[in-house]
C-alpha cells in the first residue's frame, strides 16, 4: 500500500505516521506526508520517520491540485488519509475564513484530484483505492446532559465556524461518493489528547501553564463535557477503518470517557502535584481561574462508536486515567519540544524555512 497522508506533521497525523511506520508486518510500501506547515504543523513530530526509507515529506497545500496530482501519479498512491485542517474553535471565532479555505475549499480540491486520478486507474486499482476523511464529533452540535450520545444518524448542527467548516467538508466527501463513486470513508472523532498535541488545546495548555506558574483559564463554570480519546487509540481506529471499513460509510470514534473540562483540569493538577510539585508545596489547583465563556460554547459531546465496534471490532484500549498519566509524563520529559513552540523559536524556524 502506498499512502498519501495530508497534514501529517500535526498532532493526530503524526501519530498515525509514526504508528504505521513502526508496525511490524505492515503492508506499507511508501508513505508520502504532504503538509503545508502552518503554525500547528511541526516537522519534529515526525523526525524519526525521516530515517525510514519508506517515508517522504513534501511541503505543500492540499489546495494545490497540480502538486497533489503529481504526487498521486508519481507515487502510485493507493489511499489518501486527509488530516489537513484548521482545528481550533477559538481561532475560528476570531477569523473564520482560513477554516473555509483549508477545510472546505482545500478538501474540495483534494477530492477533485483524487476523483480524476482514480478514474485513470485499472478496475482492480479503483476497487482498492480509498479516500479517508478525518472529521470531528463537533459537527453534531451540543447534547443535553442526559441525551444519548451522537450516532452516525445524528443530524448535523454545527455551532462554531470550525464545526461548520468540517460539516461542509463531510458533505462534500459524501457527495463525491454519491455523484462520482469515489471510494470514500469518513470518521467523526471525539476530543483527542496525548503526546505532541499543540499547546493551545486544553490538556497541554493546562500542563504547561501550571508548570510555568500561569493561570489555568477555565471557560464559564467548567462543566462543559467532552468525550476524551487517546490519540494512539484513534490512530489504530483509523487504520482499521481504512483497511476494513465499508466504502461510503461514516464511522464515529469515541473514547468512552466523558469528563467535564473542570474535572480534567483538576485531574491534571493532581497528577502534577504528585509528579512535579510546586516549590511552595501548594496544589496547582490554586492556579485555576474561571474566565468568561466563549460564544456558542457546546455544553456536551458524547460519541457512540458501537457501529465501529460491531462492524470492525474496534474499541479504545486506553483508559482516561492511564492516558492522562502518560500525557503528563510526556510533557514533563519533553520540555525542549514545548519550549520551542511556546517561546516562538519553532514558529520563527518554520517561517524561515518556508520563505
- C-beta of residue 141 within 8 angstroms of C-beta of residue 167: no
Q: Please, is 21 exposed, middle or buried when counting C-beta atoms within 10 Å of its C-beta (0-12, 13-18, 19+)? A: middle
Our CA angle for 122, 127, 133, nearest 5°, is 120
Beta bridge partners of 291: 219
Residue with cell 520540555: 335
Active site residue 65: no
Active site residue 144: no
Say if strands 225-230 and 258-260 run parallel, antiparallel, or are unpaired.
antiparallel
Active site residue 52: no
Beta bridge partners of 82: 6, 133
Q: In angstroms, rounded to a whole number, what is the distance separating the alpha carbons of residues 314 and 60?
A: 33
- C-beta of residue 46 within 8 angstroms of C-beta of residue 33: yes
b/e per residue, 172-184, with b = 16+ CB within 10 A? Answer: bbbebbeebebbb
CA-to-CA separations, 86 to 92, 106, 163, 307, 323, in angstroms, rounded: 8, 11, 10, 27, 25
Catalytic site residue from 55, 117, 162, 251: 162
**Centroid of chain to Cα 312:** 21
Residues marked active site are found at 137-138, 162
Amino acid at each position: 500500500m502506498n499512502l498519501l497522508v495530508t497534514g501529517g506533521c500535526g498532532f493526530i497525523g503524526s501519530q498515525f505516521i509514526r504508528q504505521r511506520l513502526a508496525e511490524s508486518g505492515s503492508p506499507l510500501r511508501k508513505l508520502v506526508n504532504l503538509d503545508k506547515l502552518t503554525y500547528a504543523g511541526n516537522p519534529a513530530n515526525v523526525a524519526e520517520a525521516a530515517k525510514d526509507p519508506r517515508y517522504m515529506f513534501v511541503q505543500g497545500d492540499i489546495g494545490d491540485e497540480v502538486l497533489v496530482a503529481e504526487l498521486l501519479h508519481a507515487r502510485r498512491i493507493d489511499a489518501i488519509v486527509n488530516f489537513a485542517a484548521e482545528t481550533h474553535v477559538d481561532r475560528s471565532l476570531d477569523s473564520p475564513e482560513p477554516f473555509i479555505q483549508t477545510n472546505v475549499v482545500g478538501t474540495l480540491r483534494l477530492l477533485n484530484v483524487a476523483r480524476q486520478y482514480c478514474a485513470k486507474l485499472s478496475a482492480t486499482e479503483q476497487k482498492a483505492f480509498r479516500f479517508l476523511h478525518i472529521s470531528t464529533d463537533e459537527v453534531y452540535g451540543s447534547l443535553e446532559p442526559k441525551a444519548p450520545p451522537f450516532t452516525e444518524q445524528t443530524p448535523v448542527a454545527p455551532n462554531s465556524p470550525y464545526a461548520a467548516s468540517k460539516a461542509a467538508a463531510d458533505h462534500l466527501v459524501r457527495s463525491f461518493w454519491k455523484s462520482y463513486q469515489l471510494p470514500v470513508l469518513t470518521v467523526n472523532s471525539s476530543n483527542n489528547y496525548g503526546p505532541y498535541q499543540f499547546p493551545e488545546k486544553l490538556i497541554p495548555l493546562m500542563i504547561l501553564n501550571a508548570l510555568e506558574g500561569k493561570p489555568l483559564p477555565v471557560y464559564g463554570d467548567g462543566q462543559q463535557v467532552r468525550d476524551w480519546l487517546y490519540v494512539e487509540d484513534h490512530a489504530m481506529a483509523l487504520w482499521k477503518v481504512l483497511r476494513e471499513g465499508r466504502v461510503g460509510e461514516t464511522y464515529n470514534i469515541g473514547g468512552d470517557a466523558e469528563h467535564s473540562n473542570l474535572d480534567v483540569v483538576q485531574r491534571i493538577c493532581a497528577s502534577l502535584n504528585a509528579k512535579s510539585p510546586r516549590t511552595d508545596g501548594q496544589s496547582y489547583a490554586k492556579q485555576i481561574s474561571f474566565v468568561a465563556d466563549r460564544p456558542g460554547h457546546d455544553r456536551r459531546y458524547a460519541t457512540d462508536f458501537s457501529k465501529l465496534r460491531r462492524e470492525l471490532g474496534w474499541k479504545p484500549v486506553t483508559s482516561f486515567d492511564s492516558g492522562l498519566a502518560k500525557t503528563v509524563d510526556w510533557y514533563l520529559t519533553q520540555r525542549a519540544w514545548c519550549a520551542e513552540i511556546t517561546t516562538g523559536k519553532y514558529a520563527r524556524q518554520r517561517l524561515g524555512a518556508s520563505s
